[in-house]
């Protein structure tokens, strides 16, 4: 909506909407009055993350969410039984008891109005590192152009995730929307 509450026409195709668009047209307008994070408007209580999500804001949201759905399915978060480490198990050790997995996404978890507070000397004190410390793992969502690997924050998150010595059971996963060709054409 515009400043007077009128609807604003957006020149972005639905399947191309990314987090930059969502921030501009949804997150910031929704949070402007309270100057808060989006999750503060939506959650009825604390939302401790199961997985931290490392990603590039320029990827289409639809592809991004499909990646997270694929990740939840592959990890068996919503299945009482299934395969884990090559063995069929019942109950599945990563089953979340019937609830959906909680993914920590900076666009929704951080207050977009106070991002300067994230610029600290010790990166271990950022909300990103704190979220990774309490998560069971990190999932990197690799967009079609692999643009995430050109972003210093994504590289930091990858490095932090794979070098964790404090949490031996910490998982690092990669999902991608890129459709692979089998070369048979």
Q: Note the pTM of the prediction, 2 decimals.
A: 0.84
Rounded to whole angstroms, how far apart are CA atoms 25 and 22?
A: 5
Rounded to whole angstroms, how far apart are CA atoms 19 and 159?
A: 23
User: Of 177, 180, 175, which is closest to residue 75 (Cα–Cα)?
Assistant: 175
Q: What is the mean pLDDT of each run of 10 residues along the chain (185 residues)?
A: 65 86 92 93 90 92 93 91 87 88 92 82 84 93 87 89 83 84 57
How are strands ordered across the β-sheet holding 51-54?
103-104, 51-54, 137-142, 171-176
């Amino acid at each position: 909506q515009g400043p007077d509450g009128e609807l604003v026409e957006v020149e972005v195709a639905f399947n191309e909407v990314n987090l930059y668009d969502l921030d501009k047209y949804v997150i910031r307008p929704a949070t402007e009055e309270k100057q808060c994070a989006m999750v503060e408007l939506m959650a009825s209580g604390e939302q401790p993350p199961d997985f931290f999500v490392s990603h590039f804001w320029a990827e289409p949201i639809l592809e991004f969410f499909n990646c997270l759905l694929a990740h939840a399915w592959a990890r068996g978060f919503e299945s009482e039984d299934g395969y884990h480490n090559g063995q069929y198990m019942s109950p599945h050790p990563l089953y979340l008891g019937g609830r959906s997995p909680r993914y920590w996404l900076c666009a929704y978890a951080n207050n977009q109005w106070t991002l300067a507070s994230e610029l600290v000397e010790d990166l271990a004190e950022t909300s990103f590192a704190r979220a990774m410390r309490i998560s069971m793992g990190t999932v990197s969502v690799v967009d079609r152009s692999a643009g995430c690997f050109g972003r210093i924050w994504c590289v930091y998150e990858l490095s932090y995730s794979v070098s964790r010595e404090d949490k031996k059971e910490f998982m690092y996963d990669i999902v991608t929307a890129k459709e692979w060709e089998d070369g048979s054409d």
